[in-house]
Structure 1
Amino acid sequence: MALQMLLFWMLVLVTCSVNAFALASNVISNSCPEDCGNNVSIPYPFGVGNGCYVGDWFEIVCRNDTYNDLEFPKSFLKRFNLEVLEIDIDAATVRVRYPIFSSCTGGMDRKKNQELEKSPFIFSSYNNSFVAMGCNNSASMWSLPEESISYGGCKSPCDRGPFRNGSRCNGTNCCQTTIPSNLHAFTTTIEPTSSKYCNYAFLVDQDWFENNFTMPNPTMSVPVVLEWGLDVTSFYSLPTMKNATAREYKDSTYFCRYDYPTIGNSMSSRDSTKGCRCRRGYRGNPYLLGGCEDIDECADPFLNYCTNTRCENTEGYFRCVAAKNIRPFIIIGVSASLGVLFLIFGGWWSYKVIKKRMRIKRKEKLFKQKCELLLEQQLSTNNKDSVENTKLFNSKELEKATDRFSADRIIGHGGQGTVYKGMLADGRIVAIKKSNVIDEEKLQEFINEVVILSQINHRNVVKLLGCCLEIEVSLLVYEFIPNGTLAQYIIGQNEEFPPTWDMRLRIAIEVAGALFYLHSAASSPIYHRDIKSTNILLDDKYRAKVADFGISRSVAIDQTHLSTLVHGTFGYVDPEYFRSGQFTDKSDVYSFGVVLAELLTGEKAISSSRTRDTKSLAAFFVSSMEGNNLFDILDNRVLKEAEKEKIIAVANLAKRCLNLNGKERPSMKEVGRELEANQMTPKVSTLKDKYGEIEDVGIEISKEYDVVSISTTSGMDGIRPDL
């Protein structure tokens, strides 16, 4: 009797530990529809009917559409009323049909896209592109609800005619760009145009657009990929799951991540695993009880490597077992091998000789190609002597300096490439940047950086020591800067050498001096085009060194702007440059203003922790000043060490740099002078004698700004188009 009671309570404990998700999976595996009568499979956590889906956001409804008196069954996400084209459990994506936005009036039009707000779905930045089509169509994406942040956009060129079938984005009436991650909602804006044809702006699945799109019309819908995530803790009630310190829950067939936000909050980026996945060696649906089934690798020759042996399938894997009657074949093989050993050795020696000759010829070809590009850039910049003085390293020397580009030598990653720490034969410590991609565009950026840096001789600009022209990928050799980036220094708050107010002010002065030199004192004006705190390095004495000139450009002395496709980094790009495509020296001033705001606040240029309309530090900083809340957002060390008068002066200067009208911004020469004047200003004892109580400081900030700036209402809110 006691044994029976013990077994009974053990059974109760096991039953109670089974989660609600597993119970639901038992129900849906037997009674829930697998599709709507079409070719779209509906796996759990999606479902049709009560009890067949994990939550209301994942409910699918089936409808029939009639065309030419024929009915076609379709699947729809009920909460969004969007037709479902495909659900991918492994990738955590759902492909839907989404309407395009069109404007046929010639005026400004906009559309709010906020169906996904507070849902577990986002628009996939990995799969989708933002496309604008039409004659001189300027279309863009803006944040909701205030439409104060620009997410991106582009302007399509015009061929003086309507769309042509099959044109897509081949440079005529069309342009496309990427979209930001974690995008739930946005406003699409089409600028006014004199074209008599319709203009379009829409999100679209990039693969479908490249292979299937022909010509738009105002009523059509196109495929768009949505990513989704789940709070896995809602599925599991096991005590080991709830109290675990690890960030995963797993068993022999599947694993789950469970440190994700709940439905309605912003989700993680695509690089993070969402929900559950079957383990390697299993396939199926990890959200169903027993849904991950073993793969028979032996049934598919591409899944096993058992060539001359017998394959035996095991749980989650396979093994190769020697065949029973292969001994005669082994004897024959060994005998034949002895007979052809000499031939094999001779063939191998010949192959090595031929390969070496091919490698030498390829190096000679690459060297010639890059030298020709360098010569072309030299002639266009009138900088032949400085480029010729750039040292040319050979590939073997740089491989030896970095232990064959060992992962242990990596000191940084970036959009342009990977940076390694190396030691040359003469004992010098250097930084070697190796390009990530082998293509013509990266080669042009490589040549451009060599030519630009060869023109510059400034103590606050990183020095180029040389380059390598022998191999496919680009290699640039710089002086080694030991103390990392300004971003790491500000955010990390180095305890041994903390970022004091004097250090911050000195770094700002040094960067301003370097930019003034580029704009005014170099042999020809240079626009950096990517000023940000991660491109400002700190040497052994924490002096600033401006780096990364891959997208920089030289301009003629009498040239006022540079017309290019928009390049740069979100949070630092000048809104005026984004809208017009014209980069000026004042665009670098705007980016410097963002860096100055980072130095004052210790905040990142873009942060998801702030509210939707102040994710941009520029917008957050300006709105805080206009709301008399400057001292609420400053870094604690700045508040503790700096005098309020000096803080106000630097903050006003940053605000002027962030003015949405480029003409209203100061030049880098003026910025440098004002910062140096602030540094040299005698120390004042208190702020109270001039401003009264601290509560009145915010009012005085606005008064001082009225004197130094024409516009007191500018801010990131001013970026949005006129209604």
Structure 2
Amino acid sequence: MLLLFTLILLMFTNLQLQLSMASSWPSLQESAATAKSGCQTHCGNLTVAYPFGIGVGSGCSRDASFDLTCNTTHDPPKLFIKSGNLQIFKISDSEMWITNFIAYRCYNQLGGVTDDIFAWTSLATTPFAFSQKNKFSVIGCDDFALITGTNGGDFSSGCFGLCGKPNDVPDGYCSGIGCCQTAIPKGLKTYNASLLSLRNHTRVVSFNRCGFAFLGEEQSFRFRGAEDLSNASEFHTRVQTMVHTVLEWVIESNRSCVEANECKGNSSCSDADIGGYRCSCNNGYHGNPYLDPGCKDINECDEEQSNIHCYGHCVNTAGSYNCTCWPGYTGDAKTPDGCRLINANTSKFPVMAFTLALVFGFVAILSGLIGVFFGIRKRKLNKLREKFFQQNGGVFLKQKLNAPGTSDAVIMFTTQQLRKATGNYSEDRIVGRGGYGVVYKGILPDKRVVAIKKSKLVDETQSEQFINEVLILTQVIHRNVVKLLGCCLEEEVPVLVYEFISNNTLFYHIHDRSGGMSWLSWESRLRVAIEAASALGYLHSQAATPIIHRDVKSTNILLDENYTTKISDFGASRLVPLDHDQVTTLVQGTLGYLDPEYFHTSQLTDKSDVYSFGVVLAELITGQKPLSANRTDDDKNLATYFVKAMKENRLFEIVEPRVLREGTLEQLQAAGDLVKRCLNLHGNDRPNMKEVAMELEGLKKFKTHPWDQQQTVHEEESRGLILEIEQSDLYEVPLIPYSSNEWESYSGSTTSMNFQESKPR
């Protein structure tokens, strides 16, 4: 019994250890860093590990000499040393394979030179040197080539390729007949190769017109005899594609291991014979020896992660492993059938049968324990979801949904649905961050694209109010308001699901200057303002329960694929009882848009949204940001800056040039007066949103172009004509029919004012 108990204990301990090692392996694998944090690790199919780094001056490499460039204009992308023309095809922990430069010289039947290209490469200021795996090769029947260079001193050598007729040339190796190879010295940093001929190929031009010389990896080149001599173009392409030049690289060629002391944990340093040193992981470890925390232990007992085999009892150790035969066996467990029974001839006890029975029994017990473990874990997760569901007001929401007429008011999403839709809330799916949560792009099973917002923690005492707000917001149906589809209350924080709006924010379209000027025309800006004002007016006065947005700003005004306006982000919204004009709240909002009266009194009214919308109108008219360090200290705030300009009759000095060109003087003056009233410091003196929308709608009646109005009005009246010009967003050429003198005047004015339009993206 004691033996049986000991055997069970040993097997259990080993299995537990292996499970532990297997479960910890992914974290070790992940922690074995390849490059610096935040740096690119791949270019095409090549992995770039530190001390190298992608991007010249990016700070991703050890120093500038290890900078590489990933040229993405190629498909697939190509990797180059620094920003030069030396393409990299492969990198190891001590070597690099790069482009092979070929020198060649071709002749005609009279011995005249038709092509003459020499080859050279310099690695003088880099941590690289040409490896002795390269050979300097000369191909031709009447050629000799010189190679000169430096390796701490001057170096020169040469090689002859001679033959008389094709049948003399051996196939498969360089013997000096048609093909000659010579070695290069250790540490060669630069080389220059040039070709010469004894008789200018006049005796061999019938089958060998060109001679070649190149420095390339010896083992990757195979000479094909007369075939290579006769087909110059095919030979050049094959060598260029298949035979690369091998470089050796080191760290700090003027320092040794002892001086550097750079290698990280579980690694060792070795001095290179070309100067400098290299770091490498110790046996039994893997990772990057140049980055903290250094190299990680390899689990040799995990056959998927190791190339060793153990046919007995395997126990991983730091940097190594132990492999022994099972109890009752002896021999070498590292070879197949290496273990044999002890006293197999005299033993009558059925050890093999007993061992198999014991193993299968133990596996059955372990499977049962694992099943129980996952069952308990699943039950805990379900209880946790129920707790969050209750904490976030789920019970109250169910009661509301069961009430007559509200069964379809809101969709209740499950945690599994939203995690699957967002790739388990992957960082790649984040499309926005704000003061009230993070927004992810999600794809539902029915292929609908939605915006999924994980809100901040909700006060448990206000969960009932939160649910009431969700129910009301799902019933808000307006073409210019982002639709709230439903929610999920099984997470620690409530998750809201909205329709997805794909064409970025109004802030982006106003302030994007990639083309020199925002593409938004005055007509488009006026339409966006009207649609946004109408939506806010609807929320204030026509919704079942009035809603104050509380965070109106150009980043919360979205444009869909048809450039239709959508008011979004009700994370800070408050519902206003019908018998109240204002609500006392904690002050929330965005600097630059925040109503000063609300900030000082904490009394929230619909006029607070009017003030914020006034700032958005000022953005649309001036093209300037709400807060800007480019303006003087007193004018950093756009609202103050705009009101001050209106008081000093300087409106047309601050209007964006495109708006000034396209809008009429009456429109701009009326719009400026409206913005000034919206930005009044006293809320009672501001218009409401419905009035704002109506006044903006009224601006559309002004159609005459301001720069034509005074010059052409009498001519048009005399002809009895009314000319309406619709300015296009898409074209840089004005659509107004100028005379030649007027056009020259117009061109000069637009040049001096630096007008530049760009097409919508």
Q: For the pair shown, which has the larger CA radius of gyration, 1 or 2?
A: 2
Tell me which of the two structures has the higher relative contact order, counting C-alpha pairs closer than 8 angstroms and 6 or more residues apart: 1
